[in-house]
Structure 1
Amino acid sequence: MDKWIELVKAKMSELRITQEKLAERLAMSQGGVGHWLNKRRQPSLEDMNRVLRELGMGFLEVALVIRETETAKTDDEADEDEMPLAQKYNPYFRYPVSDWRGLCEVREATAATYGKGRSELSDYHARGPAFWLVVVGDAMTAPSGPSIAQDMLILVDPAVEAVPGKLVIAQWSGSAEATFRKLIEEGGQRYLVPLNPTYPKALMTDDCQIIGVVVQATAKF
């Protein structure tokens, strides 16, 4: 909510739009807009999107907090604190939506083919040729804690190191489809474990290839 308010105020300043003018565009009172921007009332997701659309900024997505921890800032990155808020909080990158079959080929994507077809936006700046997948089934739907439901979008970055504790996309040689699991280590052995306890875990063998690490999960409303 705080970032939405900062972003809206920054964009209003950039476009030189007053609260009164924005309220007029939204067909509501200036006081109503002021309540939102001063945190006296909580707008619905629909209302937040209405405001963003009127400011020419697209729409919001509800995103789970499943992201890679950022590394220490460089001198250039440290300067981000001085950036205009509209630029700081609106960094979008477009990544292709892939199919679960033949995913090993994704790692060999070239500039000539990468990004063709359907794509989706994210504020995650990928280290490698990242891609989205649409979750199939309920193996990663947990009864409590982090849970990734069917039909959610997951963003996979092949350049992130797959260490125990990460959610990963893996594929066994000879298998046509990849699988989405959590990588864990027990007694010196690595396993691929579903978040849904009704599914079995699998020992990670030499013929199993990690395709990438899941760095974000989103659901659109």
Structure 2
Amino acid sequence: MSMNKKQEVGLRLKQFRESVGISQKTLAERCGWGASRIGNYEAGVRSINLDDAEILAKNLHIQPYQIMFDENEIRAQRNIEPIEVQPTYQNNFPVLSAVQAGQWTEACEPYTLGDIEEWHETTVRTSPRSFWLRVQGESMTSPIGLSIPEGTLVLIDTEKTYENKSLVVAKLTDVNEATFKQYISDSGRTFLKPLNPNYPILSINENCRIIGVAVDAKLKLT
């Protein structure tokens, strides 16, 4: 059975949404809409007008015409050589405080959209359950080699598997805030290691929960 125009547009929307790894609920929240609206669009139950397409495109980091028209329609309208419409892998994630990051669990994200004042993009393909954390203090500032100075934003993927020498956000059971350190595993023992040699290395065991692994970083120079 052939699809009608609403269904075709809905299918394209679904493909773009899935390509950036976000749920219908998350996209609806970012657009300021109810949770069922995206599902209705994708099912072809509800039409997407141009105003809605602009809002959706902004949050998917594409152009509105990529949702509204297929490649043949775009070529016909532009009268140009065939173009390849590719979804971008840019995505926005919230900046969390150290306290919010420390409250993160597998079952719960410790924020609502109303709590978040700052979002930043990444081109790194990462899980939908990711967040930015601003580095505090000088414990990760190294005089040589890898150095992550205070103020750097690091993107934390909570679904990425950590390994020896991964840069991680971790939470100690007796501390309210999360901390950003290098995870070290050596001869059956595990540690959280600052990159700054002037700070102590912390031995960890069951008293520590690894929240996620750093996959991207941003630093403003001015």
Q: Note if 1:132 corresponds to 2:132.
A: yes
Superposed counterparts of 1:1-221, under 5 Å: 91-107=89-105, 108-109=108-109, 113=113, 116-221=116-221
Where 2:156 maps in the other structure, the secondary structure is strand
Where 1:103 maps in the other structure, the secondary structure is helix
Measured after TM superposition, the shift of residue 220 of structure 1 is 2.4
Q: Separation in 2 of the partners of 1:156 and 1:209?
A: 14
Contact 2:182–2:193 (8 Å) recurs in 1: yes
Measured after TM superposition, the shift of residue 147 of structure 1 is 0.6
Q: Separation in 1 of the partners of 2:197 and 2:206?
A: 25
Measured after TM superposition, the shift of residue 144 of structure 1 is 1.1
Contact 2:93–2:119 (8 Å) recurs in 1: yes
The two structures, once aligned, show a CA RMSD in angstroms of 2.5
Where 2:124 maps in the other structure, the secondary structure is coil
Instruction: With the length of structure 1 as denominator, give the TM-score of the two structures.
Output: 0.56
Uncovered stretches (5+) of structure 1, i.e. residues with no partner: 1-82
Measured after TM superposition, the shift of residue 174 of structure 1 is 2.3
Contact 1:94–1:121 (8 Å) recurs in 2: yes
In the alignment, what sits opposite 2:64?
A: none
> Which amino acid in the other structure matches residue 99 of structure 1?
S
Contact 1:95–1:115 (8 Å) recurs in 2: no
Where 1:183 maps in the other structure, the secondary structure is strand
Relative distance call for 1:121 and 1:114 in structure 2 (3 A) is farther
Q: Separation in 1 of the partners of 2:97 and 2:164?
A: 25
Q: Separation in 1 of the partners of 2:171 and 2:114?
A: 20
Where 2:184 maps in the other structure, the secondary structure is strand
Q: Separation in 1 of the partners of 2:213 and 2:114?
A: 18
Measured after TM superposition, the shift of residue 182 of structure 1 is 0.5
Contact 2:100–2:110 (8 Å) recurs in 1: no
> Which amino acid in the other structure matches residue 206 of structure 1?
E
Contact 2:170–2:208 (8 Å) recurs in 1: yes
Measured after TM superposition, the shift of residue 185 of structure 1 is 1.4
Measured after TM superposition, the shift of residue 103 of structure 1 is 2.0
Q: Separation in 1 of the partners of 2:110 and 2:151?
A: 27
> Which amino acid in the other structure matches residue 94 of structure 1?
N
Contact 1:169–1:178 (8 Å) recurs in 2: yes
> Which amino acid in the other structure matches residue 179 of structure 1?
T
Once the two structures are superposed, residues 15-63 of structure 1 have per-residue CA deviations (whole angstroms, 9 ceiling, x without a partner) of xxxxxxxxxxxxxxxxxxxxxxxxxxxxxxxxxxxxxxxxxxxxxxxxx
Measured after TM superposition, the shift of residue 123 of structure 1 is 0.6
Q: Separation in 1 of the partners of 2:126 and 2:168?
A: 15
> Which amino acid in the other structure matches residue 97 of structure 1?
V
Measured after TM superposition, the shift of residue 116 of structure 1 is 4.2
Q: Separation in 2 of the partners of 1:102 and 1:87?
A: 35
Contact 1:102–1:176 (8 Å) recurs in 2: no
Measured after TM superposition, the shift of residue 93 of structure 1 is 0.6
Q: Separation in 2 of the partners of 1:128 and 1:149?
A: 26
